[in-house]
Amino acid sequence: MVRGMTQLGAADRARLPDSAFAYIDSRGRRRLPIHDAGHVRNALARFNQVAFEDDAARDRARKRLLNAAKKFKIVPVGFINNQLQSERELARRGDEPVLPSGFVTMLLTDIEGSTGLVHRLGDRYGELLERVRALLRDTAIVSHGHVVETRADEFFAVFEQPVAALSTALTVQRELRAWPSAGDEDVRVRVGIHSGYPRLAKANYIGMAVHAAARICNASHGGQIVVSGDFRTAVGAPLPSGVRLRKLGTYALRGLPDDVELYQVVAKGLPSRFPPLRISL
């Protein structure tokens, strides 16, 4: 039991709606109350102790719990790390976590000026890098994304819903913008988003769609979110309130057979002016 959390009696429990629980089994038994911040923290701590009926039930409960954590502004870093550890254990046994196939939206990021950060921070860079990784992982998973790969200062996630990738990118950039005002290091992350049909190969993706997403990320600047025309088509309309896509032009990106139409995400709380895209021929 989380310290400071009020014990939930039988009568109080009975009065709660089904929506106040992360998990309801096929017999109607309700587990993991999430109606207030204290119970959400308790559910995060106890999640791995629950015997779920199947993997689908576990996944539904996990998503409901993460949504509740987001509602109460709880950053579930320890919970996410435990889930990732469980996935790594599955992979070692040859039972890899399932990634979506077919049409997906890919989000790739890297840290601008990471070499300069290493020079300034020295051994403290490792701590900063883990904070950035945790922000990216947690935000992607809360938005129902799938973390594919984290390597050095690069991050790769996929989303079945294009708007979820956009929401992740906006949240990450806004959070990072707030870091310097809190006395933290100024960290600027480039974000590239592309929708397409990558080929699923074990626990990763390959194909030209992945290369396109990577090239779009490389073309952007720290603090900027650049998306492809294919993403613009996939996300449709309306966009989230206060968000629009500014056309940057059509570019030949290195290694890609066709030119790519690119857009910058413009939103409240984010800078809107950047130098020309970093296009290498």
pLDDT in tens, 30-55: 989 999 988 988 888 888 778 887 77
Whose structure tokens read 């996935």?
87
pLDDT at 217: 97
Sheet holding 146-151, edge to edge: 146-151, 154-159, 104-111, 189-196, 225-228, 260-267, 243-251
Q: What is the pLDDT of residues 90-109, one digit of tens each?
A: 445 455 557 999 999 999 99
What angle (nearest 5°) sits at the alpha carbon of residue 242, between those of residues 236 and 243?
45
Using pLDDT thresholds of 50, 70 and 90, give the confidence band for residue 87. Answer: low
What angle (nearest 5°) sits at the alpha carbon of residue 134, between those of residues 19 and 218?
115
pLDDT at 60 over 70: yes
Q: CA–CA separation, 200 vs 214, rounded Å?
A: 16
Q: CA–CA separation, 50 vs 48, rounded Å?
A: 6
pLDDT at 107: 98
pTM here is: 0.69
pLDDT at 118 over 70: yes
Q: CA–CA separation, 134 vs 129, rounded Å?
A: 9
Q: Topology of domain 104-267, per CATH?
A: Alpha-Beta Plaits (3.30.70)
Using pLDDT thresholds of 50, 70 and 90, give the confidence band for residue 213. Answer: very high
Percent of the chain with pLDDT over 70: 88
Parse the chain into domains and list their residue ranges: 11-74, 104-267
